[in-house]
Amino acid sequence: MKELTRSYAIVQDDADPLKHFKNHFYKPGEDLIYLDGNSLGMLPCATRERLQNVVDEEWGRGLIRSWNTGWYNRSDVVAAKIACLIGAKPHEVMVGDSTSVNLYKLAYAALFYQKERKVIVSDNLNFPSDLYIFQGLVRQWGADYQLRLASSVDAIGIDTNALAKVMSEDVALVSLSHVVFKSAFMYDMEQVTRLAQENGSMILWDLSHAVGAVPIDLNGAHADLAVGCTYKYLNGGPGAPAFLYVREDLQEKLETPIYGWFGQNNPFAFSLEYEPAPGIARFLAGTPPLLSLSALEPSLDILLEAGMNRIRKKSVEQSKYLIRLAEHFLFPLGYTLASPCSEEQRGSHISMRHPEAYRICQALIDPGVGGNVVIPDFREPDNIRLGIAPLYNSFADIFDTVWQMKSIVTEKKYLPYSSSRKGVT
């Protein structure tokens, strides 16, 4: 079958309308295939130049004067670009702090707003940091508060009925990852938002593994709240500032638990009394990280130019191609699919399980093995995650990755590696 040959991949790449976007990214090495853009996106070339300029000109020469020549409103400029990617209005998005901290702020605000409701609902596929935040809140708010998790039967997805079962009148907040970090399972945002709101609960979406990977329409789904990460598919760089979204009509009703001067009505009046800024700005706390904020902007421009619909179309084609190749070359070798089969229920990464997953990952990353160096990531206990970032991944990358995963098992190249885990997997 022609699909199973490398020349088929080359033909797909030639016909790819997004193929030139690869050149916008810094090349990490000739034979390196990077399939971890869902964990840390690649470096756009424009970001290197931008950072050089921000450091030399804005900081080095401009010094404090730069606050009035671009720094003060830079978070608004960046927020407006993120808003375009998530179906929000520019003044509904704020950039700054980490995803975890923003999640805390919004989950707290939801509890504070509905004090008669004392339950947070999430699921057991959610990102651990999110669950830690909820556990902390429940402990801080008191013994009558509770975190309730819907359970996955297959460790891949969550049935909407399972979610419906854990809903009750005392649920203040439903908070879920739109795309789940391990399996890439994707919730139907509109349907689940409706489910929560019909119950009188607020919904808070974590978009970390979805933004930049799938088209998102928060306004279309009438979502209440959202947070998201920018160092994954948004290529903002390690520790890049996260964002949060609060629907327009809720902004004046909600309170941030952290009263800081950047969320004050007029920070430079230096008033001794806190008065919240109108609108989304009240969810800021301290000074935005200007260097990281500046580093994020060029990548957002690239994503907006490529367009989320085109990115999604290619992502779906590449994911289907990967699964098709895996069925033929990998499943007979003990690999199994740990992501949903249907693309409507899947983000832009594919998880595969194998009893030797950890050692296979090490062999993929090691240049000494021969062939291409492939960088995926490993998630306990036995998941290899292959992140597809259509802006810089080609069909040939996918073919070569499958080939490498196949030969590592058939030729037992994983045997020399140890199963004991490194600090970051």
CB of 172 closer than 8 Å to CB of 117 = yes
**100 binds ligand PLP, rule: CB under 6 A:** yes
Whole-angstrom Cα distance, residue 235 to residue 213?
Answer: 11
**CA nearest to 185, candidates 205, 157, 225, 166:** 157
Q: What are phi and psi of 8, to 5 degrees?
A: -65, -45
**181 binds ligand PLP, rule: CB under 6 A:** yes
Catalytic hit among 21, 34, 127, 399: 127
Whole-angstrom Cα distance, residue 254 to residue 283?
Answer: 9
Q: Interacting stretch for ligand PLP, rule CB under 6 A, among 98-106, 155-163, 286-294, 318-326?
A: 98-106
Q: Interacting stretch for ligand PLP, rule CB under 6 A, among 44-52, 206-214, 275-283, 406-414?
A: 206-214
**206 binds ligand PLP, rule: CB under 6 A:** yes
Q: Show contacts with ligand PLP in window 112-151 (CB under 6 A).
A: 127, 129-130
- Looking at the DSSP bridge assignments, the partners of residue 297 are none
Active site residue 19: no
> Residue 254 corresponds to which amino acid?
L
The SS3 call for residue 205 is: strand
Whole-angstrom Cα distance, residue 251 to residue 255?
Answer: 8
Q: Which of 33, 109, 229, 369 binds ligand PLP (CB under 6 A)?
A: 229
Rank residues 369 and 386 by Cβ distance to ligand PLP and give the closer one: 386
Active site residue 127: yes
Number of residues counted as binding ligand PLP (CB under 6 A): 13
Catalytic hit among 185, 187, 231, 335: 231
Vertex 212 angle, CA 36 and 189, to 5°: 115
Q: Show contacts with ligand PLP in window 232-271 (CB under 6 A).
A: 242
Give buried/exposed letters for 210-244 (b at 16+ CB in 10 A, else e).
bbbbbbbebbebebbbbbbbbbbbbbbbeebbbbb
**36 binds ligand PLP, rule: CB under 6 A:** no
**399 binds ligand PLP, rule: CB under 6 A:** no
Active site residue 74: no
Q: Which two tokens stand for residue 7?
A: 């020349």
Extended beta strands in 109-194, E state: 119-123, 146-150, 171-177
Catalytic hit among 105, 182, 232, 413: 232
**289 binds ligand PLP, rule: CB under 6 A:** no
**177 binds ligand PLP, rule: CB under 6 A:** yes
Catalytic hit among 81, 385, 406, 413: 385
What's the chain's Rg over C-alpha atoms? 22
Rank residues 263 and 347 by Cβ distance to ligand PLP and give the closer one: 347
Catalytic hit among 36, 97, 130, 206: 206
Binding site for ligand PLP (CB under 6 A): 98-100, 127, 129-130, 177, 181, 206, 208-209, 229, 242
Q: Which residues does the annotation mark as catalytic?
A: 127, 206, 231-232, 385
